[in-house]
Structures are given as C-alpha cells and as structure tokens.
C-alpha cells in the first residue's frame, strides 16, 4: 500500500504556508505594482522573488518567482514518495505537462517569442524548468516534438503525430485535442489499479475529461454546421458524464438545448446555455478547481490530501499572476477579482 500517511504529514505542513483568501485580497488591494512586490516579498514567496529580481524585472520577475516556488513544491512532494505512491503522483503531475505543452504549441502557432511563452509556463509537472525553456525556444513545432521524444515523454508520440497533421492543416484545435486525448488515455491506464488511491486518480481524470468535452462541444456548435463524423473525432472518451452521444448533441446547434438539459439532469454543474463562452469556461475551470480542492478533506490515509493541496497551490499561483498583471496594466480591482479562483 502506498505510504501516503507519511507524505500527507509533510503536505499538511506545506498547507500552512498557503496564503489565506483574505491575504490574497490584501495583495489585490495594494495601490501600485511596487507596493504589490513589497507585500509579496513578505510572504513565503519572498526568497524566490528576491532571487528572481536579480535576473528579471517587473511581471517577469514575479512569474519566475512563482514558477520556481511551484516547482520546488511539487519536487518536494515527489521526494517524499517512492514505489506505488511515486507512480501515482507522477501520473497526477502529468496534467501540468499537458498544460505547458498547450501553452507552447499555442505560442508557436501565434508566433510569440520564447520569453513570452516561458512567462506563461507552470513547471509543476514532470518536465523540468530547464527543459521547458528549451522547448519554448525551439524555432518550430517539429523540433519541439523531437526533443520531447528524446526524453521519452509519454506525450511525445501523440505530439509528433499531431505536429505532422498540423503541418498540413494548421488546425491548432485538433493538435491540442490530440494531446488531451492521449493524456486521458495514458492517465486512466496508469490509474487502472484497484484501491482507493487509484479510484481517486480516475475521478480526477474523469472530471477533467468531462470539462474538456463540454468546452469543445460548445466551440464546435459555434463553428457552424460540422458533419457528425468530423465532430466525433474531437470527443475524448473516459469521462463520468459526457458520452459520445451527448457530446454530439451538445456540439450541434440544432440539438444543443435538449442535450444541455440532459447534461444538467446527469449532474453536470450547468445552468442555462452560456451566452459568453469565455465566462462559461472560466466558471467551469473554477468548478474543476473547487472539486479537486475538496479532496483535501477526504481520506487522510490516501492520495486525497495531495490532490487537494496541489489544486490549492496552483490556484494561488494563478491568482498571484493575475494580481501582478492587474497592477502592471492598471486593471480595475473588481475585474481582476472576478477572474481569481479563491478556494
């Protein structure tokens, strides 16, 4: 049995260093970016911030400090584990590899410079910060796929196949969904064992798969008439609620309303069909984060504590990034507050 009681004792100590919602609101209320930096320096991120300010300035220094802190946190948790526990934790952390690969391919697609791509990365997964910077610096996606294959990453093959198709079609959505599908298949396979911890990990993957399928279906419906055979290619199997049939109904504007009602009846957290897709996706992301955070109150002898804590930690880092950008760009506090994930 994986030794999660030992791991959880150390994760609970890490939990005590997270910022409270009230402290985040105080940071949001600082009058200037310099005042925000001064306040952030007085938090557990202070040492990372001071080190980052030696190499960078402004919001880039904040991004580097937050990324370094998050990476040290996940590496510390991994260092507490071995055997079956480490396998499960590495599987959980792959979700941040997926996030970072999406950031990189989106940046390459849009022609963004490497330093801008690096600023959006969250090196909390199995890919190191050094390797992520190397991937972001590649001149094209083919080189990106080659480097990932050289380190034998589980998403290397799907990325190479997606990049080959992208070279012909320039279809970024298909490339991203290929990565998400591969992530889901690999993760569910790694979490296919018996026992409570494997079941929790499967629940995490199913929650994320359902959310991804709903987002994709709504995008397809807005894209206009798309043949059913084409739409089903974007479906990711393995979720708890969204079947392929329900996905096809959601992705067709003619059947979407009825499918939306079935989605709600089956327990998916939705109300009316969204008029603002961006706001809906943000609300859905919030739901996923809140769902994962609740695991912190789950089985004290299982992986639940780690799942919940990592959701809290990444939400905190995302909130601090939002606040930093709000100060730099002079955004109204209430606008930044609406986008924050206070869990």
Q: Give 188's contacts (C-beta < 8 A, 6+ positions apart).
A: 202, 205, 238
Q: How far apart are the first and last CA of the chain?
A: 31
* Gap between the Cα atoms of 96 and 78, Å rounded: 14
Over residues 263-315, the pLDDT tens digits come to 988 888 877 777 888 888 888 888 999 999 999 999 999 999 999 999 999 99
Residue 305 three-state SS: helix
Q: Is 334 exposed, middle or buried (0-12, 13-18, 19+ CB in 10 A)?
A: exposed
Over residues 213-250, the pLDDT tens digits come to 999 999 999 888 889 998 999 999 999 999 999 999 99
Mean pLDDT of 109-126: 87
The mean predicted confidence, pLDDT, of the chain is: 91
Give residue 79's domain range. Answer: 4-339
Q: Is 230 exposed, middle or buried (0-12, 13-18, 19+ CB in 10 A)?
A: exposed
Look at residue 145 in the predicted model and tell me its pLDDT: 87
Look at residue 194 in the predicted model and tell me its pLDDT: 87
Look at residue 329 in the predicted model and tell me its pLDDT: 93
* pLDDT-based confidence at residue 140 (cuts at 50, 70, 90): confident
Look at residue 77 in the predicted model and tell me its pLDDT: 95
Look at residue 2 in the predicted model and tell me its pLDDT: 58
Over residues 158-171, the pLDDT tens digits come to 999 999 999 999 99
Over residues 38-91, the pLDDT tens digits come to 999 999 999 999 999 998 899 999 999 998 999 999 999 999 998 889 999 999
CB 207 within 8 A of CB 268: no
CB 212 within 8 A of CB 159: no
Number of domains in the chain: 1
What pTM does this model have?
A: 0.90
Mean pLDDT of 13-34: 95
* pLDDT-based confidence at residue 1 (cuts at 50, 70, 90): very low
Task: Inform me whether the pLDDT recorded for 195 exceeds 70.
Answer: yes
Over residues 51-60, the pLDDT tens digits come to 999 988 999 9
């Amino acid at each position: 049995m994986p030794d999660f009681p030992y791991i959880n004792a150390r994760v609970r100590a890490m939990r005590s260093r997270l910022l409270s919602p009230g402290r985040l609101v105080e940071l949001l209320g600082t009058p200037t970016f310099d005042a925000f930096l001064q306040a952030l320096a007085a938090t557990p991120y202070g040492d990372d911030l001071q080190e980052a300010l030696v190499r960078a300035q402004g919001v880039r220094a904040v991004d580097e400090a937050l990324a370094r802190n998050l990476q040290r946190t996940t590496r510390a948790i991994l260092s507490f584990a071995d055997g079956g526990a480490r396998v499960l934790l590495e599987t959980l952390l792959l979700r941040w590899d997926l996030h970072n690969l999406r950031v990189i391919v989106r940046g390459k697609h849009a022609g963004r410079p490497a330093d801008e791509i690096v600023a959006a990365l969250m090196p909390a997964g199995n890919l190191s910060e050094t390797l992520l910077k190397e991937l972001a610096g590649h001149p094209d996606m083919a080189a990106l796929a080659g480097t990932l294959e050289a380190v034998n990453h589980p998403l290397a093959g799907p990325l190479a196949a997606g990049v080959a198709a992208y070279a012909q079609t320039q279809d970024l959505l298909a490339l991203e969904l290929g990565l998400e599908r591969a992530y889901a298949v690999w993760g569910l396979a790694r979490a296919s064992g018996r026992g409570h911890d494997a079941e929790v990990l499967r629940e995490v993957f199913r929650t994320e798969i359902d959310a991804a399928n709903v987002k994709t279906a709504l995008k397809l419906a807005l894209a206009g008439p798309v043949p059913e055979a084409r739409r089903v290619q974007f479906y990711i199997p393995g979720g708890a609620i969204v079947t392929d049939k329900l996905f096809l109904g959601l992705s067709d504007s003619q059947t979407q309303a009825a499918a939306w009602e079935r989605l709600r009846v089956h327990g998916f957290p939705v109300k009316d069909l969204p008029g603002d897709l961006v706001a809906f996706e943000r609300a859905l992301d919030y739901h996923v984060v809140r769902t994962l955070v609740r695991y912190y109150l789950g089985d004290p002898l299982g992986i639940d504590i780690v799942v919940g804590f990592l959701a809290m930690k990444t939400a905190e880092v995302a909130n601090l990034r939002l606040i930093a950008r709000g100060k730099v760009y002079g955004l109204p506090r209430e606008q930044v507050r609406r986008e924050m994930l206070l869990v």
